[in-house]
Amino acid sequence: MIIGESKVDWRRFDAVLFDLDGVLTATATVHSASWKQMFDEYLKERAEQTGTPFVEFDIEGDYKTYVDGRPRYDGVATFLKSRGIDLPRGEPSDTPDQKTVCGLGNRKNDLIQEVLATDGVEVFDGSVRLVRRLEKVGVRQAIVSSSKNAEAVLRAAGIIDFFEVRVDGVVAARMKLPGKPRPDTFLEAARQLGVEPVRAVVVEDALAGVKAGVAGDFGLVIGVDREGDPQALKEAGADIVVDDLGLLVYEGD
């Protein structure tokens, strides 16, 4: 499935900036499941303490709207705000049992680490074909991910050597860059590559990430639809929406 331009002329661009989870690696479903487990545990405990009804975390609604594509602690805070819950921000060093934004975020991180250690990382074959083709034709590549686990995921997937630059959650925190839907992390990746945004492509599966690409005035924004809802990515501003990046690999290029 392709919505938008039927063919991308990669020679128009100097670099492609990829999100990771859900774009290159099949870890988005693992992330969403980990978020649900963490939030449901917290919400059940809170409901018992306050005598209010328990309303579970909904992956289709809550995850996509408030969490997907955002830095971990921002995702926690944004979702809690949607439920009218005000917790202290805390510190990144908070333990996973502390009832702070950072504590809950760290609990989620523990859950995803357990899954990665047990199950490893699956990559999307079509995405890897595109990465290899871009390397062959001389288009530079970078990873722009909100995840602080991006390096571990790339190494586990065996694709880390394809990317000259990585602006992930660790880098963003160190440089104090605001996360998606702000464009700052994508702009920083382009800066490190020495590429003008208009000559770079953003590839994203999250609405927040697509909006970041649009806000940064990049030359092309490609949405990757893994959820069967291409129109949402198109409405967020994606120029092209595909369900498999392999569709953008053309023999003879």
Q: Which amino acid is at 182?
A: R
Given the structure tokens 């944004």, which residue do they identify? Answer: 78
* pLDDT number for residue 253: 58
Q: Which residues of the chain have pLDDT under 50?
A: none
Of residues 9, 14, 19, 97, which has the active-site annotation? 19
Instruction: In whole angstroms, give the CA distance from residue 243 to residue 56.
Output: 29
Cβ(15)–Cβ(142) below 8 Å: yes
Superfamily in which the 2-26+122-248 domain is placed by CATH: HAD superfamily/HAD-like (3.40.50.1000)
Q: Which CATH architecture has domain 29-119?
A: Orthogonal Bundle (1.10)
Q: Where are the domains positioned within the chain?
A: 2-26+122-248, 29-119
SS3 of 15, please?
Answer: strand
* pLDDT number for residue 52: 94
* pLDDT number for residue 118: 77
Sheet holding 2-3, edge to edge: 2-3, 240-242, 220-224, 200-204, 15-18, 140-144, 165-167
* pLDDT number for residue 18: 98
Active site residue 9: no
Active site residue 94: no
Q: Are strands 200-204 and 15-18 parallel, antiparallel or unpaired?
A: parallel
- Number of Cβ within 10 Å of residue 130's Cβ equals 26
Of residues 9, 14, 21, 229, which has the active-site annotation? 21
SS3 of 4, please?
Answer: coil
Cβ(178)–Cβ(187) below 8 Å: no
* pLDDT number for residue 239: 97
* Of residues 138, 179, 182, 147, the one with CA closest to residue 166: 147
H-helix segments, 138-220: 150-157, 169-175, 184-193, 207-215
* pLDDT number for residue 152: 84
